[in-house]
Amino acid sequence: MRKVIVLIVTFILIAFQSLQAQWEQVNGPYGQEVTCLLISDSIVFAGTNGDGIYLSTDYGISWTQKGLLNTNFYCLTVIETNLFAGAWGKVFISSNKGQEWEQLIIQNLDSPVLCITFLDNYIFAGTSGEGVYLSTDNGISWTKSNSGITNDFVRNFAIIGDTIFAGTDIGLFKSTDYGVQWTQYNSELNYINVPCMAVCEGNIYAATNQKGVILSTDNGNNWNQVNIGLNNSHVYCLAVSSNNIYAGTSEGEVYQLTNNSSSWTQINSEIVNTSVRCLAVNESNIFAGTSGGLFQTTDNGSKWSPTLLEKTHINCVTFDSSNIFVGNNLGVFLTTNDGNDWSQLNSGLINSQVGNIALCGNDLFASIFIGGMYKSINYGKSWVQINSGLNQYPTIRCLVVIDNNIYIGTNADGVYRTTDNGTSWTQLNNGLTNKWVVSLSLSGNNLFAGTYDGIYISSDYGNNWVKTSFTNTCVYSMIVQDSNIYAGTYGRVYLSTNNGQNWQQLDTLSTRKNINCLKIIGSIILAGTSGDGIFLSTNSGQNWKQFNSGLINLDIRCLSVKDENIYTGTNGGGLFKAKIIDLITSVEEKGNNINDAISINPNPAHDNISININSKDFSNSTKLYITDLSGREVLTIFEGIIESGNKKLNANIEKLVGGIYYLVMQSPTARTTKMFVVNR
């Protein structure tokens, strides 16, 4: 008897597990944003934006992720035998070379820790907005140390002897008394952003965002530009190895200054269209962390190769019948085999930070950070800029295609539309008093714009706008299902059932994060957040539960459906997918009494289906129809009054291509769906 019970329990567990939809990571594309680097005791450490810290013990051949998922890191440094890492509002410390980490809270700090250094027994932390913090007990407690500092954005430190230098957004400060008092230099560095400093043989090199590299040979009293051979004045980072200085720029260039010479030599060619954020050098190994991945050279720059490939920021996803296109901080990538292999498609792009992509017919459109709009007529093989009519390089937040017209929402420039496939753009801001447009969506003949100050509606495709009753809230996402309009804000989803005239707050999600994206699959609503993963509702948003099994990064940027899969792009964890049939089945098995109103046989089906209807919830005028995964109606089966009781209908579906569909039954007071599969 015991064996029988065990077998039954095991069967139930297996059956239960099989009903749980599971996210799995797609292979590639590469492009993880690396924000800080450190080489210590022959170990390379890489801090990322959103995916914790990686380490390599073989100089970049292989990498290991050491916890701290969903954490943005801004700096790494070694103090005696401890490794310190700066994050948002806190510092992490490791005493075993990055294998384990302990969190050190900086009391009342609500900004990133951008830099950490030490002088004798004093540890200094520079922050983005709250100046300098000081610890004398190895990071256990912290106090502010800002006397004399007139800018609170402290980006880096340098130390010579007993003097500590602090680089800020308005120049350079120094302290000779362990941070008790700071004094600003009156020099070449006044009112100049200083993102990085490096010390070599007693000389201080300061990277700036306007004047290239500036050098002091007398402890900071006098400064002179050292820019011969440096073709870019926006220098983000510096590194020192022996007597050589290395500089990384905003345009992906890496330069070398050898033996204190006065002329720079460019030593890279493969790093293009992406800013170099950090550098680390150990003998012949040079690592460059960029907004689009980590690159490495072992021959002093003759050849660079990407490393740390497996995860990336995914800003957007679109697709057609055979291709999946992904936009990230390293450009546009294409896969034709569901992510097994990827091709980079950046020819013609002057900047690779792709925020949005969309297909209009056979043409592919992409928005670029500080680059405007681009178009490709050959599926991304080459791109041309299409900015006629746009204000120069607007920051584009959203891109939608509606009836062969393309709309974009921007920061501060409002809405633009093109009706000629990108040849020219027209600004559509009449009545749009808030021009920070984050989301756009169409319901019937009404176009909705989600802004920093609520939602606007246009009944003439954007020519004129009227503000709705939804105000004083930033709307990050919107989606339409039938007559329902859903809007995602900070931690909440709102619903309008009357074309935006009135809005109701749905059950509050257990999150204090932005709702970055919304997706509807049949009767299921998915909400992607900026740090708590994905939430799921099966009852029009009245209740929500998390749907994160298998996700290793919970900062969700986009949701998209192709064939039988749903894809989600994360901010640092790469691209994930889940099978829709598993998701639907797991939800339906948990029970929804209104779903009992219809059943389909057979399922999977081929040419015909038999539909059983229990009409107790549908006594009024009812429509029965079939949609594809995008919600597009593909077949109407019945429209009229369904008499009380049970009813049976037959439908011919031989014209439907193979795939997943939804049978929808809808009346003025009720709606239910049932998923089914067509085999061909």
Terminal Cα distance for the chain, rounded: 45
Average pLDDT, the chain: 86
Q: Is the pLDDT of residue 34 over 60?
A: yes
Q: Is the pLDDT of residue 669 over 80?
A: no
Q: How confident is the model at residue 486, as a pLDDT?
A: 94
More confident residue, 507 or 367: 367
Query: Residue 395 — φ and ψ, nearest 5°?
Result: -80, 115
pLDDT digits (tens, 9 = 90+) for 175-205: 999 999 999 876 667 778 899 999 988 899 9
* Tally of CB atoms within 10 A around 430: 12
As a three-state string, the secondary structure of 583-607 is: HHHHHHHCCCHHHHHEEEECCCECC
Tell me the domain boundaries of the chain: 593-678
Query: Residue 15 — φ and ψ, nearest 5°?
Result: -65, -40
Q: How confident is the model at residue 144, as a pLDDT?
A: 93
Q: What residue type is 350 in one-letter code?
A: I
Q: How confident is the model at residue 16, as a pLDDT?
A: 33
Distance in angstroms (rounded) separating the CA atoms of residues 671 and 497? 13
State the pTM of this model: 0.66
Q: Is the pLDDT of residue 318 over 90?
A: yes
Q: Is the pLDDT of residue 560 over 80?
A: yes
Cα angle 442, 445, 447 (rounded to 5 degrees) comes to 40
Q: What residue type is 589 in one-letter code?
A: E
* Tally of CB atoms within 10 A around 600: 18
Percent of the chain residues topping a pLDDT of 70? 91
Q: How confident is the model at residue 29, as a pLDDT?
A: 76
CA 263 remoteness from chain centre: 39
* 615-633 average pLDDT score: 77
Classify 327 as helix, strand or coil. Answer: strand
Q: What residue type is 157 in one-letter code?
A: F
Domain covering 593-678 in this structure, CATH number: 2.60.40.3080
Q: How confident is the model at residue 272, as a pLDDT?
A: 59
More confident residue, 370 or 425: 425
pLDDT bin (cut points 50, 70, 90) of residue 588 is low
* 632-639 average pLDDT score: 89
Q: How confident is the model at residue 589, as a pLDDT?
A: 46
* 54-65 average pLDDT score: 86
Query: Residue 505 — φ and ψ, nearest 5°?
Result: -80, 125
Q: What is residue 212's DSSP assignment?
A: -
Task: Classify residue 478 as left (phi > 0), alpha (psi -120 to 50) or beta.
Answer: beta
Q: Is the pLDDT of residue 508 over 80?
A: no
Write down the residue that tokens 């089966």 correspond to: 637
pLDDT bin (cut points 50, 70, 90) of residue 447 is very high
Q: What is the DSSP string of 609-633?
A: EEEEEEGGG--SEEEEEEE-TTS-E
* 119-123 average pLDDT score: 91
Q: In the numeric block, which tokens belong to residue 275?
A: 């800013």
* 421-442 average pLDDT score: 95
More confident residue, 279 or 61: 279
* 89-101 average pLDDT score: 91
More confident residue, 275 or 535: 535
Q: Is the pLDDT of residue 592 over 70?
A: no
Q: In the numeric block, which tokens belong to residue 386?
A: 């299409």
Kind and range of the H or E run holding 575: strand 575-579
Cα angle 358, 363, 368 (rounded to 5 degrees) comes to 50
Buried b (16+ CB within 10 A) or exposed e, 84-120: bbbbebbbbbbeebbeebeebebeebeebbbbbbbbe
Top-confidence range, 13-22, 72-81, 422-431, 623-632: 422-431
Q: How confident is the model at residue 105, as a pLDDT?
A: 86
Contact present, 44 and 83 (Cβ < 8 Å): no
Per this entry, what is the length of the chain? Answer: 680
Q: In the numeric block, which tokens belong to residue 15?
A: 């059956």
Q: Which of 289, 219, 242 shows the shortest CA–CA distance to 76?
A: 289
* 72-93 average pLDDT score: 92
pLDDT bin (cut points 50, 70, 90) of residue 443 is confident
Distance in angstroms (rounded) separating the CA atoms of residues 281 and 22? 41
Q: How confident is the model at residue 11, as a pLDDT?
A: 32
Q: Is the pLDDT of residue 386 over 90?
A: yes
Q: Please report, for residues 33, 55, 494, 567, the alpha-carbon distance to residue 476 in angstroms, rounded to integers and kept in the order given.
A: 23, 35, 12, 19
Q: How confident is the model at residue 413, as a pLDDT?
A: 94
* 384-391 average pLDDT score: 93
Q: How confident is the model at residue 311, as a pLDDT?
A: 66
* Tally of CB atoms within 10 A around 170: 17
* 509-538 average pLDDT score: 89
* 90-113 average pLDDT score: 90
pLDDT bin (cut points 50, 70, 90) of residue 415 is very high
In angstroms, how far apart are the furthest CA atoms of the chain?
94
Q: How confident is the model at residue 390, as a pLDDT?
A: 93
